[in-house]
Amino acid sequence: MIFKERFANKVMVVTGAAQGIGAGVASRGAAEGARVLLVDRADFVTEVEEGIIAAGGKAASVQCDLETYEGAAEAMAAAIAAFGRIDILVNNVGGAIRMRPYAAFEPPQIDAEIRRSLMPTLYCCHAALPAMLEQGAGTIVNVSSNATRGIRRAPYAAAKGGINGLTQALAMEYAEAGIRVVATAPGGTNAPPRRVARNPQGDDVQEQAWMAEAIAQVTSSTFMKRYGTLEEQIAPILFLASDEASYITGSVLPVAGGDIG
Ligand SMILES: NC(=O)c1ccc[n+]([C@@H]2O[C@H](COP(=O)([O-])OP(=O)(O)OC[C@H]3O[C@@H](n4cnc5c(N)ncnc54)[C@H](O)[C@@H]3O)[C@@H](O)[C@H]2O)c1
């Protein structure tokens, strides 16, 4: 469903916009009137941008690595350069790289999960706040996960727990400055095959078995006993980003078929 003009006059920055949930948020946000800055380190983010423009929407894109502060600063500067302001920031970059029992994680693998699923959101919030403070308004939607209560990905769970803490702390700190900070906590989501894999090295047979255990746990923890669809994740992110959610801040909304994460 499209709510035409819901984001008219809004500038929306979406991170991790080349595929999956981020591409969907960017495309539907643009269809609903937002001017969208798509951020990703994958070069095919331009294909999503071109699709939006071909459909009559307004978009620009920038390629940068949000695991660095410089990348986050570059992304926000690109939004200002293209559209002059930042009304909405959707921090979508993240995702478990490996599924293992915690004792089987190697120390550098623990660091990599935190860098992937916590640091881009920490950095992007910090880099976007000056523009929002100057405007006296802004909305940040962070994408967390129900994995905060799940097996085989404890470092990712810790990163997403960090996202939840950041969401609440920033919401409290900046509410009086006109800035809302909210999050969704998606559950398992069906999507087309990823063009950029979470783990570029691929999963060995043991890791595939551990992933199957995590998938079984995620599915059984939902009341609905199924994965969600991309649309079922995109819709609540855009609701929270919209002015319809104007009295909601500091909340982490579980979007996981009844699993509260
Ligand atoms: N898909 C699920 O089942 C699921 C479940 C729970 C939570 N989530 C969360 O939803 C969000 C999106 O998930 P997804 O499955 O659509 O993601 P995905 O892995 O399919 O896509 C992530 C995108 O982010 C980009 N990216 C990764 N690291 C980056 C970096 N350092 N700088 C710039 N771009 C970078 C990738 O290139 C890719 O385009 C993530 O935060 C994830 O943790 C997803």
Count the helices and strands in the chain (H runs, E runs): 8, 7
**Is 156 considered catalytic here?**
yes
Catalytic residue among 69, 156, 227, 247: 156
* Amino acid at site 43: D
Residues 159-195 pLDDT 10s: 999 999 999 999 999 999 999 999 999 999 999 999 9
Domain boundaries, the chain: 11-255
Residue 232: what pLDDT?
98
pLDDT in tens, 92-147: 999 999 999 999 999 999 999 999 999 999 999 999 999 999 999 999 999 999 99
Backbone angles phi, psi at 235, to 5 degrees: -60, -50
Q: How far is the CA of 64 from the centre of ligand 1 (A)?
A: 14
pTM exceeding 0.95: yes
State the distance from the centre of ligand 1 to the C-alpha of 91, rounded, in angstroms.
10
In the reported structure, the alpha carbon of residue 176 is separated from the centroid of ligand 1 by a whole-number distance in angstroms of 31
First to last CA, the chain: 27
**Residue ranges lining ligand 1, Cβ < 6 Å:** 16, 18-22, 40-42, 65-67, 92-95, 116-117, 120, 143, 145, 186, 188-189, 191, 194, 196, 198
Fold annotation for 11-255:
Rossmann fold (3.40.50)
